[in-house]
Amino acid sequence: MSNPLFDALFTPHIGKESAFLHLEDGTTLSHGAFLRKAAQIGGALVNAGLLPGDRLALQVTKSPEALAVYAACVQKGVIFLPLNTAYTAHELEYFIENSGAKLVICDPSKASDIAEITSHTGAQLLTLGGDGSGTLMAAAASQPETTQTIPRRGDDLAAFLYTSGTTGRSKGAMLTQDNLLSNAKVLKAYWHFTQADVLLHALPIFHTHGLFVASNVMLLCGGAMIFMPAFNPDTILAQMPRASAMMGVPTFYTRLLAHERFTREAAAHMRLFISGSAPMLTETHVQFEALTGQRILERYGMTETNMNTSNPYAGMRKAGTVGFPLPGVELKVTNQKTGEEVAQGEIGVIEVRGANVFKGYWQMPEKTREELREDGFFITGDLGLIDRDGYVQIVGRGKDLIISGGYNIYPKEIEMLIDDQPGVKESAVIGVPHPDFGETPVAVVVPDATAPDLDQITSACETSFARFKHPRKIIIIDALPRNTMGKVQKNALRDDYKDLFTKIES
């Protein structure tokens, strides 16, 4: 029996000395060296008692070793659960407990905080620094550089990625080997990736975009990545002459456009710029084309579904749209109440079905039933339409979600914490336009008889949430606007505060 994901992404590169990762310090790691590292890590995981189907949670700085842990998990059938490095110990506790992770790997600087969590969940703890230091690589060093690949089936789980919910509780999206492999194959072909490609990789590797879209596609095509720890426009510009393609969130593109050294010549030999994870303004598309003569290719995806649609490689890339359903992905737009398909051009909820769609939420059968229909269609919660040329347009969100610089923020989670603070009667967290992050959260707070303590609210957010979720402003008002049914009208609030950042900062 085989291991379809490992056999497609990694096996062909074993022993090959072709360039895989170009690193910040000027060195290059070959495919073969990367896989030797992965094999050693795999040995260390087995030694630690991990069995196929066990979960490994990892919160570490982006590094070749971090990516090699992913490869090792695939090889050994362990379910890989990467976590945002910005998450606080409070946030991590839930993920570690909920997933039942048997092993947690964290940065050495966080080991003592996380040991408090693992001491009561029973998980083992190893450390991995951004420079490869820590107990994981020390344990891996004595392991052989080749190792047995554990057989897996296509519908076996390969990864859990947590995504928050409108109820405030995060859900573990269960992704199978087939989900990941089918999408990587489709994207490689659709975007014409080959061994000759060199990708500018500045995304984090704990989300779908940087891990599955970028890294899986590059592994499948056998190309190389310029692997940067984070997005820095100066580094991107310095490396661009060596690269052929870039994948990024819209903030990457607005920041590049604002950079004086980003010119037509700087981008001249790049064959492809891809954007996704958040809506790109038509204005950004237009400015980018005017400057570089190239059109950004925008695509649309989700944690639960991988990539669903893409603008075409060769045909017209239409600004304000996310292109066509990818091969093998069925997409329909339905009435939110009845679930009936609406006519072409009408707005409804986007639903998708295909080999890319996840298996469900970990230990949440009811949530899974609410969003994943029995016939296999997943209700994305995004509102959209199919235009007369067949391009999909996303026009809004049926779900209460804010996307800041490509990171998702679920207002409910923040509202629940603010509502618990002294002096607060109730609150509403809304996303307002932001010139850098696209959207940013603002908390609108209604006081009770006593006055709320704004410092207390801020410090409660700091203890509980990753920095990107913190409301950038807290506004006190007498009452929240409500409709006749008593539901808070967030649209009215968003309208009231829409110029809060764009007017000041633009």
In the complex with ligand AMP, the residue whose CB is nearer, 63 or 163, is 163
Pair 181, 5: CB distance under 8 Å: yes
- CA 479, CA 67: separation in Å to the nearest integer? 49
| Footprint of ligand AMP on 142-181 (CB under 6 A) | 163
Find the binder of ligand AMP among 300, 377, 378, 437 (CB under 6 A): 300
Find the binder of ligand AMP among 134, 279, 411, 438 (CB under 6 A): 279
Residue 231's binding partner, choosing from ligand MLC, ligand AMP, none, with beta-carbon cut-off 5 to 8 A by kind?
A: ligand MLC
Find the binder of ligand MLC among 4, 64, 172, 204 (CB under 6 A): 204
DSSP secondary structure code for residue 185 in this structure: H
| Footprint of ligand MLC on 244-263 (CB under 6 A) | 249, 251
Pair 242, 226: CB distance under 8 Å: yes
3-state secondary structure of 275: strand
Residue 298's binding partner, choosing from ligand MLC, ligand AMP, none, with beta-carbon cut-off 5 to 8 A by kind?
A: ligand AMP
Record the tokens describing residue 375, joined without a space: 């016939």
| Footprint of ligand MLC on 462-501 (CB under 6 A) | 467-468
Question: In the bound complex, what is the minimum distance in angstroms from residue 296's beta carbon to ligand AMP?
Answer: 10
Pair 201, 29: CB distance under 8 Å: no
Residue 414 φ then ψ, to 5°:
-80, -40
Question: In the bound complex, what is the minimum distance in angstroms from residue 111's beta carbon to ligand AMP?
Answer: 28
Pair 223, 192: CB distance under 8 Å: no
Applying CB under 6 A, does 403 fall inside the site for ligand AMP? yes
In the complex with ligand AMP, the residue whose CB is nearer, 117 or 158, is 158
Buried b (16+ CB within 10 A) or exposed e, 79-102: bbbbbbbebbbebbbebbebbebb
CA nearest neighbour of 272 among 297, 291, 241: 297
Give the burial class of 426: count Cβ atoms within 10 A of its Cβ; 0-12 exposed, 13-18 middle, 19 or more buried.
middle
In the complex with ligand AMP, the residue whose CB is nearer, 126 or 403, is 403
What mask, x for binding ligand AMP by CB under 6 A, covers residues 191 to 230?
-----------------x----------------------
Question: In the bound complex, what is the minimum distance in angstroms from residue 57's beta carbon to ligand AMP?
Answer: 18
Question: In the bound complex, what is the minimum distance in angstroms from residue 447's beta carbon to ligand MLC?
Answer: 26
Find the binder of ligand AMP among 46, 302, 326, 414 (CB under 6 A): 302
CB-facing half-sphere around the CA of 59: CA atoms within 13 A: 24
Q: Which amino acid makes up residue 482?
A: R
In the complex with ligand AMP, the residue whose CB is nearer, 42 or 301, is 301
Applying CB under 6 A, does 276 fall inside the site for ligand AMP? yes
- CA 369, CA 376: separation in Å to the nearest integer? 10
Give the dihedral of Cα atoms 312, 316, 318, 324; nearest 10 deg.
-30
- CA 70, CA 83: separation in Å to the nearest integer? 12
Question: In the bound complex, what is the minimum distance in angstroms from residue 303's beta carbon to ligand AMP?
Answer: 4
Question: In the bound complex, what is the minimum distance in angstroms from residue 126's beta carbon to ligand MLC?
Answer: 25
Applying CB under 6 A, does 380 fall inside the site for ligand AMP? yes
Q: Which amino acid makes up residue 302?
A: M
In the complex with ligand MLC, the residue whose CB is nearer, 45 or 218, is 218
- Classify the C-alpha dihedral 233-235-238-242 as positive or negative: negative
Find the binder of ligand AMP among 322, 357, 385, 417 (CB under 6 A): 322
Applying CB under 6 A, does 230 fall inside the site for ligand MLC? yes
- CA 191, CA 423: separation in Å to the nearest integer? 53
Which residues make up the interface to ligand MLC (CB under 6 A)? 203-204, 207-210, 230-231, 249, 251, 276-277, 301-303, 404-407, 437, 467-468
